[in-house]
Amino acid sequence: MCGIYGYFSFDEKVSGDGCLREMAERLHHRGPDGVGLYSKGQVGLGNVRLAIIDPEGGDQPYFSDDNNVVVVQNGEIFNFRELRRELELEGVLFKSDCDTEVLLHLYLKMGMEFLSQLNGMFSIAIYDNREQALYLARDRIGEKPLYFSKDASTLYFGSEIKAFLPYIEKNINHTALNAFLRLNYVPAPLTAFENVLHVMPGSYLSVTNVGVSEVQWWNLTTQSDSELQTEERWQEEFLNILDDSVRMRLVSDVPFGAFLSGGVDSTSVVGLMSKHMDLPVKTYSIGFPDPRFDESIYAEMAAKRFNTEHHSKIVDYDIVSEWSDFIFYCDQPHGDVSFMPMRKVSELAALDVKMVLTGDGADELFAGYEKHVPFLSRQDISLYSDKEFLDGYLPYLSMFNTEDCKVLWKKEHQNKIDWSLVENELSEALKSCEHFDPINKGMYLDMHFLLPGNNLVKPDRMAMSKSLETRAPFLDYRMMEFAFRTPGKYKLHNGDKKYLYKKAVTPLIGEELAYRKKQMFTVPIGEWFRGELSKYCYDVLLSENSRITELFSSVYMTNMLDKHVSGEANYTREIRALIAIELWLQNSF
């Protein structure tokens, strides 16, 4: 687990080691264990390292014997030992026990086709001097981030935008910010900065003096959800994949543990970890004084069932004092305040371990959210056209609607916005998965937009801000492909979320934990906005120092706050999104 960064100069004006060292300093939290740099001619690559595998011998970059190929990566390749054994049988000699060296030799053997051999979470940068080409690759679903910005002279890239932000012209992307108001996150490939984009999940960029091209090397829509099998056979395959995925993610040369909320996902992961480990699993959870949001009783129950070494902490509304910090580490506005407790549980875990396993991804794969039930359970939904599906489902995905956004934005900014972007992007995604049944269409939208846009940003940025690696067994590519070969009725059945999944794990985790009511991992921020934090809301959004009033109507925001504080209406999501924008503006401009 690390951070990567660098540049490619089209006009051959060299940025050099000084630029790379500055980038390394801005990503120090991602890799406090070491810094590696390479610069030659028009290209520079760098890595900051959080040492998980081969702490003594795994420093990056890695070079081919003739120094023509250079590799850095952020992430972990979970099947690297199997891949290494195959290469050794072909006569390849290794100088370390690190997975990055395996990437180098795979590339030398196969070119960029090597990506399909990897089971892992990764962002990879490869410079091939033989072709004078830089390749920037990202894992299948976007567990590891990778951003870039290109102008006429230079392409900069980094695991976080802050790595290269001082070297580019900073401007607000109004369309992206409006999409954030609609969805509560900025959908990739856009970012809130003009001319800063994501390398898309399952894709790589080829950068040469001729320009930049994109290649998609993996696509979830190649699966077909028409695969039929008995419920028993499905449960057996599901458990086999999850068990092996957990086993693979236990490879580590440093202490590790797991986040444990007591929910079905994290409990299943911890239960399988305990089967493969001789020592008790170290587990970590956060609780809240408000019982509506507190899962600590279930975390304790799961910890007791699997005899874990459990650590927990209660947090209160003073957690909001760290709101600006979490926006800083995200580089963009995110309205999901569960980022804050995620950072707290990461801080707690980082006292003991350098890596944790999580339950991320299961809700998006197997229909675990309450929003999935009211629309996707409709009896006639299979008769809907794509437009009818989108019109019906969008209210469950969105926050502000277009009409509200047009009132919120000041008139001088409205002509800078593509108002149809969200609908167009969702519509294109639906076209690409038209062979899926309606339930899996909903799951695909979550996988394509929500996961890389928000839900995977949370564990990566919040844990890495505390120099902690997270691994998500449910996002093994075998599990993702299996999930989208699964008919939707096995996921959402008569309103029962994770229908066969919960049946499959009940013998492992027990009926009470398998079928307990889902609680959101968040804080009671809406109530705090009416009480202890009401003055904070007015100060952040409507003071004379507020930057957000340059973009949005003060009258609209005042009316919203007044109605929320008085209890006349509930604008929790909208207020926290606007606060996130203000804090992002303060951090970035």
Where in the sequence numbering do the catalytic residues fall? Answer: 2
Please give the C-alpha separations between residue 271 and each of 98, 239, 474, in angstroms, as whole numbers.
Answer: 28, 12, 14
Burial of 527 (0-12, 13-18, 19+ CB in 10 A): middle
| DSSP category for residue 263 | S
Query: Dihedral of CA 225/228/230/233: which sign?
Result: negative
Three-state DSSP class for 344?
helix
Cα–Cα–Cα angle for 272, 278, 280, rounded to 5 degrees = 70
Cα gap 230→228, rounded to integer Å: 7
Torsion region of 8: left, alpha or beta (phi above 0 gives left; psi -120 to 50 gives alpha): beta
Structure tokens at 396: 């469950």
Which of 585, 584, 488, 581 minimizes the C-alpha distance to 184?
Answer: 581
Please give the C-alpha separations between residue 2 and each of 12, 121, 520, in angstroms, as whole numbers.
Answer: 28, 11, 29
Please give the C-alpha separations between residue 469 and each of 71, 187, 415, in angstroms, as whole numbers.
Answer: 20, 24, 42
Which of 256, 299, 345, 311 minimizes the C-alpha distance to 509?
Answer: 299
Strands 2-9, 154-158: pairing kind: antiparallel
> Residues with Cβ < 8 Å from 38, sequence gap 6 or more?
44, 45, 46, 61, 63, 70, 72, 127
| DSSP category for residue 552 | B
Cα gap 61→55, rounded to integer Å: 14
List the 469-471 sheet strands across, edge first.
309-314, 282-287, 256-259, 355-357, 469-471
Give the amino acid at 28: H
